[in-house]
């Protein structure tokens, strides 16, 4: 129960990684707020957790909308007195893993609004609520695609790595650590629906460890980064990729 009495906000919390993060943190004692542009999915995920005796709330929120994010953070602060953990997980994924010339400007703008501006908006909105809270921690979700840079999606996740370093520097004086996780190919239901079998095989062939990544692999990385065991870790991106696209 390491996180007993702590409050965590998880964006994209209605499904996939976000829902798994919420379950893990609430099982560790935290009250989790699952925010998702799909409010029904967020409410449903929170209801599943509360049915297990865990503490969770689901809210509708578009991370690219500054007013909506601000309202969520103010609500959390009003109810709980502050915020201890922010997980910037909301993002647009495999369908945007295409070259700029193929995607079109409207879709390019949308993926950058969500993946990049969403991370900026949520981090800035949470700063005051997290200031001075013992063990305050932000974790951004980047991607192994940030190291390959073959697509609009990869560039957006490269930007998330850069934001992680910048916010780690800016928020250090407030006692807030900022790190990121770069997952490799984790075949969640969403990814399976969007990714062709051929592309999945190509990524697996580039891994050193020849097994599919599991959702729990990413959950364990998150639990480490928000724990006291990582109290001297900030500005880092932890790659959890099975050795995909290794570089020095």
Say how many CA atoms lie within 13 Å of 235 toward its Cβ. Answer: 10
SS3 (DSSP) at 230: helix
Tokens of 68: 């909506």
In this structure, what token pair is assigned to residue 78?
């009003």
Separation between Cα atoms, residue 107 and residue 103, nearest integer Å: 6
Strand partners, 8: 32, 85
State the first-to-last Cα distance of the chain, in angstroms, to the nearest integer. 37
Q: Is the distance from CB of 208 to CB of 202 less than 8 angstroms?
A: no
Q: Kindly give the confidence (pLDDT) of every residue in the chain, 248 residues in length, as a single tens digit, with 9 standing for 90 and above.
A: 899 999 999 999 999 999 999 999 999 999 999 999 999 999 999 999 999 999 999 999 999 999 999 999 999 999 999 999 999 999 998 778 888 899 899 999 999 999 999 999 999 999 999 999 999 999 999 999 899 878 999 999 999 999 999 999 999 999 999 999 999 988 777 677 777 888 778 878 888 998 888 999 999 999 999 999 999 999 999 999 999 877 76
Q: For 219-242, b where at least 16 C-beta lie within 10 A, e where not — what string?
A: bebbbebbeeebeeebbbbbbbbb
All domains of the chain in start order, with CATH: 7-237 (3.40.50.720)
Answer left, alpha or beta for residue 149, where phi above 0 means left and psi between -120 and 50 means alpha: left
Does the pTM exceed 0.75? yes
Active site residues: 153
Contact 115, 159 (CB under 8 A): yes
What length does the chain have? 248
DSSP 66: H
């Amino acid at each position: 129960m390491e996180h007993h009495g702590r409050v965590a906000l998880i964006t994209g919390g209605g499904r996939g990684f976000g829902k798994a993060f919420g379950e893990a943190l609430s099982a560790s004692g935290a009250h989790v707020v699952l925010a998702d542009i799909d409010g029904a999915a967020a409410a449903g995920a929170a209801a599943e957790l509360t049915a297990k005796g865990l503490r969770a709330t689901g809210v509708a929120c578009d991370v690219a909308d500054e007013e909506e994010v601000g309202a969520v953070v103010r609500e959390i602060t009003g109810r709980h007195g502050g915020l201890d953990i922010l997980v910037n997980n909301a993002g647009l994924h495999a369908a945007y893993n295409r070259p700029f010339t193929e995607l079109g400007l409207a879709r390019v703008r949308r993926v950058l609004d969500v993946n990049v501006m969403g991370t900026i908006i949520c981090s800035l909105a949470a700063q005051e609520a997290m200031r001075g809270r013992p063990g305050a921690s932000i974790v951004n979700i980047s991607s192994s695609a940030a190291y390959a840079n073959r697509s609009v999606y990869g560039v957006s996740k490269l930007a998330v790595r850069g934001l992680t370093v910048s916010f780690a520097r800016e928020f250090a004086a407030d006692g807030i650590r900022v790190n990121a996780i770069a997952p490799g190919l984790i075949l969640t239901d969403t990814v399976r629906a969007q990714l062709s079998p051929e592309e999945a095989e190509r990524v697996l062939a580039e891994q050193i460890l020849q097994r599919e990544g599991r959702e729990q692999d990413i959950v364990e990385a998150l639990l480490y980064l928000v724990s006291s065991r990582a109290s001297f870790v900030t500005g880092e991106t932890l790659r959890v990729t099975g050795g995909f696209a290794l570089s020095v």
